Amino acid sequence: MNPYFRTPPVVKNLIIANALIFLAMWLLPQVNIIAERFCALYWFGSPLFHSYQYVTYMFLHGGFDHLFFNMFALWMFGRTLEYELGSKRFLVYYLICGVGAALIQMLVAWLTGELGIVLIGASGAVMGVLLAFGVMHPNEVLIMFPIPIPIKAKWFVIGYAALELFYGATGQAAGIAHFAHVGGMLWGYLLLLYWKRRGAIRY
C-alpha cells in the first residue's frame, strides 16, 4: 500500500486527542466546565488567562461540525505534509501555526478593543497546514465540497485567505476568528520560508 494513504502518527494522534476531548466535554458536563474555564484562550488581561492556553485552546471545539471539518482538513492535507516534513517538524509547524494564529487574533482584538474575546478550535493550525500544502504542492488539483469544480491548490489557498480577510475586515460571518485563520497561514508561510532558506526543506 502506498504510505501516503496511511495516517502518520502525529496527524492520527492529533485527531484522536481532539475527538476524545470533545467526547469527554460532551458527555461530562463537569469536564466541559473545567475545560472551558482553564483551557480556552482568554484575553491576556483577563483573570482567567494562563499562558498555556495558547496551546490548549487548539484542542477545544464548539460543536461537532467545528471538530469534524477541522479534523477532516487535517487528515486530508496533513498526511502528505507529515511524510514530507517528518513527524517532529510537522508537529512543530502545526503548533507554531496554532500559537501564531492566536497571537494575530489577540492583536486584532487589542486594536479593535474587543477584549472579551475567547478562542477555541484548531482552525488556525489547520489553516497553516492548508497553506503549507498549497505552497509545497501548488499545482495539485483539488475538488472541494460543496462546489465540484477542479481547482489548483495554490488558487484555493489564495482564494480562501482573501475570503477570510474580507470576512474579518467587514465583520461578516461573526462569531468566527477570521484573523486567526489568516494568522495561521501567515505564520506557516514565514516558517516554511525560514526552513527553505536554511536548506531544511525543499519545495
| CATH code for position 60 | 1.20.1540.10
Residue 157 CA to residue 181 CA, distance in Å, equals 11
Residue 89 CA to residue 109 CA, distance in Å, equals 30
Residue 112 forms part of a structural domain: yes
Residue 203 forms part of a structural domain: no
Decide if 96 contacts 187 (C-beta within 8 A): yes
Residue 66 CA to residue 161 CA, distance in Å, equals 18
Residue 202 forms part of a structural domain: no
Residue 58 forms part of a structural domain: yes
Residue 13 forms part of a structural domain: yes
pLDDT 10s digits, 93-136: 999 999 999 999 999 999 998 888 999 999 999 999 999 999 99
Residue 42 CA to residue 40 CA, distance in Å, equals 6
Domain that holds residue 134: 3-197
pLDDT 10s digits, 176-190: 889 999 999 999 999
The count of domains in the chain is 1
C-alpha to C-alpha distances, 117 to 20, 32, 34, 36, 108, nearest whole angstrom: 25, 19, 18, 13, 10
For 190, the grid coordinates are: 514565514
pLDDT 10s digits, 5-46: 689 999 999 999 999 999 999 999 999 999 999 999 999 989
Decide if 125 contacts 94 (C-beta within 8 A): yes
Residue 25 forms part of a structural domain: yes
Furthest-apart CA atoms within the chain: distance in Å: 53
C-alpha to C-alpha distances, 45 to 27, 42, 50, 124, 184, nearest whole angstrom: 31, 8, 10, 22, 23
